[in-house]
């Protein structure tokens, strides 16, 4: 399995696995035993980088990942996140942000138990908390690293200034932000350039547009009850129809190279920088293997440039989040 470096010292599989959908957000309840098997089979297929968070569930996704990956300690890196104010009973998802140092320490102790590890491989702040200076957040994580409970620090969806301020206190290993052929804000807001300058890796979440770029969603698709995508502007019926042109573009490239739309979308991302490690999510081992196939898909430079130019020219309809959620990003 080809690996990539994040930050100064983290070597992981070139494509990781986002675990959220195995127990959260997409409506359909997954069989826990089946998801354990998918996670373990993913390790055997070469995946060594897994992403979860306490808010996924809440709590149950970390428990699932901890159970599944316990036999592979030392072979895999698990990333998890803090930053939301949660009901301790797990009956509600989140009621606001909380990155106070006391809360960070509390989350780490609980996550260590759920993940069944002695140290958290990569700990992200899930969203920047305007009420807590990022220097305090970085300082709290720095203390946890010194205490041997956390190995590395990251941020999710921060702005460039926040990245610099946090990195000055505790060097960052990675930033996790949405980035794909149809969401290119990290190129436009200075985040990508800042990461390159500081030597910080980028971990794109939703690299397949929450499933849209796989080509399996169209205007006839019925989202399950409880599927959070039903509340996203880009998954409104009119937007789904209008944005099929993006999938058509990926499919046309894929047909030429014997690849699926998902593989083309991931290969494009991997070509952007050598320190980018996407984490597509899935509940199916066949999709894990399909996504890993993107690593070997080396599109010629001319084709990548043509794909890039064509994608830029396409009008994308609908925002990725409702306004109240988008307001939590890029701070």
Give catalytic residue positions.
56
| Torsion sign across C-alpha atoms 61, 64, 65, 70 | positive
Torsion angle of alpha carbons 23, 26, 28, 32, nearest 10°?
-20
Q: How many CB atoms lie within 10 A of CB 46?
A: 16
Which helix or strand (DSSP H or E) is residue 284 part of? none
- Give one DSSP letter per residue of 102-162, joined into a string: HHHHHHHHHHHHHHT-SSBSEEEESS--TTS-HHHHHHHHHHHHHTTSBS-EEEES--HHH
Burial 177-209 (b: 16+ CB within 10 A, else e): bbbbbbbbebeeeebbebbeebebbbbbbbbbb
Distance CA 327, CA 261 (A): 30
Phi then psi for residue 220, to 5 deg, are -85, -10
| Torsion sign across C-alpha atoms 248, 253, 259, 261 | negative
Torsion angle of alpha carbons 79, 83, 88, 93, nearest 10°?
-90
Contact 250, 264 (CB under 8 A): yes
Q: How many CB atoms lie within 10 A of CB 236?
A: 15
Contact 203, 277 (CB under 8 A): yes
Q: What is the 3-state secondary structure (H, E, C) of 210-277?
A: HHHHHCCCCCCCCCCCCEHHHHCHHHCHHHHHHCHHHHHHHHHHHHHHCCCHHHHHHHHHHHHCCCEC
């Amino acid at each position: 399995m080809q690996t990539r470096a994040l930050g100064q010292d983290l070597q992981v599989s070139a494509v990781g696995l986002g675990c959220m959908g195995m127990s959260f957000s997409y409506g359909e309840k997954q069989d826990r035993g089946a998801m354990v098997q998918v996670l373990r089979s993913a390790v055997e297929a070469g995946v060594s980088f897994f992403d979860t968070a306490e808010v996924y569930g809440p709590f149950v996704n970390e428990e699932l990942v901890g159970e599944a990956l316990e036999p592979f300690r030392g072979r895999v890196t698990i990333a998890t996140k803090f930053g939301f104010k949660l009901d301790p009973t797990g009956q509600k998802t989140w009621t606001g942000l909380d990155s106070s140092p006391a809360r960070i320490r509390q989350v780490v102790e609980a996550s260590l138990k759920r993940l069944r590890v002695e140290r958290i491989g990569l700990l992200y702040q899930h969203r920047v908390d305007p009420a807590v200076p990022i220097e305090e957040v970085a300082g709290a994580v720095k203390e946890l690293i010194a205490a041997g409970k956390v190995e590395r620090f990251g941020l999710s969806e921060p702005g460039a200034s926040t990245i610099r301020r946090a990195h000055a206190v505790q060097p960052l290993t990675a930033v996790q932000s949405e980035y794909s052929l149809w969401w290119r804000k990290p190129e436009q807001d200075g985040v990508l350039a800042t990461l390159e300058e500081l030597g910080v890796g980028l971990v794109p979440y939703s690299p397949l547009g929450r499933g849209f770029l796989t080509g399996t969603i169209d205007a006839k698709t019925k989202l399950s009850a409880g599927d959070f995508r039903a509340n996203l502007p880009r998954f409104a019926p009119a937007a789904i129809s209008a944005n099929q042109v993006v999938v058509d573009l990926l499919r046309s490239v894929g047909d030429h190279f014997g690849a699926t739309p998902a593989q083309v979308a991931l290969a494009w991302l991997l070509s952007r920088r050598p320190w980018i490690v996407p984490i597509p999510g899935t509940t199916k081992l066949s999709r894990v293997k399909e996504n890993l196939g993107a690593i070997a898909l080396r599109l010629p430079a001319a084709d990548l440039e043509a794909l890039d130019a064509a994608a830029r020219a396409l009008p994308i309809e609908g925002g990725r989040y409702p306004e109240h959620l988008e307001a939590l990003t890029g701070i």
